[in-house]
A and B are shown apart, each in its own frame.
Chain A
Amino acid sequence: MRCCLISLIVLCACAAPGRADFMNALSAYDAGAYGVAFTEWRRLAEAGDLDAQVALAGLYEAGLGVPQNYRAAARWYQRAAHRGNVIARLNIGEFYSRGIGVVRDHARAWFWLSLAANGGSNWARRRRAVLAGTMAPGELSRAEALMKANRNEGQGNPER
């Protein structure tokens, strides 16, 4: 019990600066100090902060605080998407559907949009419906296969 308590305290002590840094980065972003935001979010993202990974992807995508780099944006969205972030999933789905930062792949786009939709995103649901209307039968069956594989794995991370 005491061990758990100590662990909790240590965990809180470690976590607190991270959230403070995230907050500072968000404040800097709001203020247009994108370079500051980028530096902080990258550090946090590399340390595994999920929100920072999504935020960092957004900076790469928009070219704020860093030269625009869709491939880097896609990489960070993908990392966060694997960990279940709905915003990351719908964005990487959109990237796949349009070939932004990744090779266009409607099956993967449909797959990620589906996961985002399953996570409650109506935006992803609508986008997936539009996408589905443009997909060839082969693409749809591949997308469904991805979903099936994902369900079998039961973790939402089929591309590992």
Chain B
Amino acid sequence: MQSRAKMLTSTVIPLAVAAGVAGVVAAGSVVIHAANANPSASNKMSNPAAVRRSGVQLAACNPCKAKRGCNPCAAKGCNPCAAKRGCNPCAAKGCNPCAARGCNPCGGACNPCGGGAAKYSARCVIPRLKTASLCNPCAAKGCNPCAAKKGCNPCAAKGCNPCAAKRGCNPCAAKGCNPCAAKRGCNPCAAKGCNPCAARGCNPCGGACNPCGGAAQIDLTAAEAKNAYDCILKEMGQAYGKSGLWVAKTYAGWKRYSKVAYQSATHSNRFVQNYANPQGRQYGRFEKAGKMPEGAYLVKDSFTVSKDGKIGVGPLFVMRKMQAGFNAASGDWKYAMVMPNGAFFGETNGKNSKNMKFCIDCHITVAEDQDSMMFLPENLRN
């Protein structure tokens, strides 16, 4: 049975990167994620570089790296705003040397914390993770190291050393994993020679150089997953709608076959939900569904959650059952993936069909028994 409990997926690469997230998970919380039950699939990419998950938290941590001249910490003894406005370079407009020159390290028009529409939702957040991350100067604030709480202000506290400040809550200092704190004692971003990651264009808080974690797996309770999904759904619709694809505009009105958003290891630990159109209703019979009829759509929308609880839109995955003979290799399924910026780069037997080959390569493993469909765990089925 377990082997059948495979996720509907279009990828083959689980990224179960061990992370320090467990420490912030409330005791007794229901874990909403599912591992890939397909061992062959899980071995397809073992290259460490390939599994380096440098993306989701990458930019969240290093507000200083982008532009040396724009580093509010490096300049003038670390934080030029601390003295004037209580150490908040974002809130204090007149005090933000970056915004004034149109040099915003975090993007956006003039608020380096507000940013734009992209990486994470401006509205949606997982409160528990956000609270837990406040004492981690790297994971906590995507942009403003000073905006958090007074007690957690890395600039105000003890001579501006984010690592020295709180032994108990600073995973870097505790483990001696912050090479900058030891040498410079103050600004890990400003110290070029001291930051082995920055030198290579790598954020010290992301990827392999991540001294603070860089978790790929975030555990949410069912309630948290529900709230997160309900909050981000509208933004997902906006994002996918850019593609102009009919299915991207329509799918949210179809029956959903997952109770709540769950974390899919085969989708890079994104949180996903499963939908099918009326023609695909027999998907709800899961392992007993048999061959799907022509015209059936299976759709999975996705979102990401950062360690500090921020929520961002992920890709939309689409399968459409075509007429017999459409494509033997794909089991007559047409695959497509819509990026959060609305781009889609191919569909089976259509433009750039080869781009979707990786979907087929994964789903083909269950072609015979499950008509290339992968199913979510029983406890998450709706």
Where the two chains meet, the residues of A that have a C-beta atom closer than 8 Å to any C-beta of B are 19-20, 22-23, 26-36, 51, 54-55, 57-59, 61-71, 73, 86-87, 90-91, 94-95, 98-101, 103-104, 120-123
Contacts and interface: CB of A to CB of B under 8 A. Distances in A.
A33 B244 contact: no
A55 B343 CA distance: 7
Given A55-B345, A99-B110, 4 more contacts: A33-B51, A51-B345, A95-B116, A101-B116
A34 B53 contact: yes
A69 B116 CA distance: 10
Instruction: Report the interface size class on chain B.
Output: 35 or more
A71 B341 contact: no
Nearest to A51: B345
Contacts, number: 169
A63 B66 contact: no
Interface in B233-280: 241-244, 267-270
B53 A32 contact: yes
Contact of A68 (B15, B52, B115, B241): B115
> What is the predominant secondary structure among interface residues of chain B facing chain A?
loop
Contacts of A30: 10-11, 13, 267-268, 315, 337, 358
B264 to A, nearest CB: 11
Interface of B: 10-13, 15, 45, 49-56, 58-60, 62, 65-66, 102, 104, 106-110, 115-119, 203, 207, 216, 241-244, 267-270, 312, 315, 337, 339-343, 345-346, 352, 354-355, 357-358
16 contacts: A26-B345, A29-B339, A30-B10, A30-B358, A32-B13, A32-B270, A33-B15, A33-B50, A54-B343, A58-B340, A61-B116, A67-B66, A68-B107, A68-B118, A87-B243, A99-B110
Nearest to A86: B244
B172 to A, nearest CB: 19
Contact of A19 (B62, B343, B354): B354
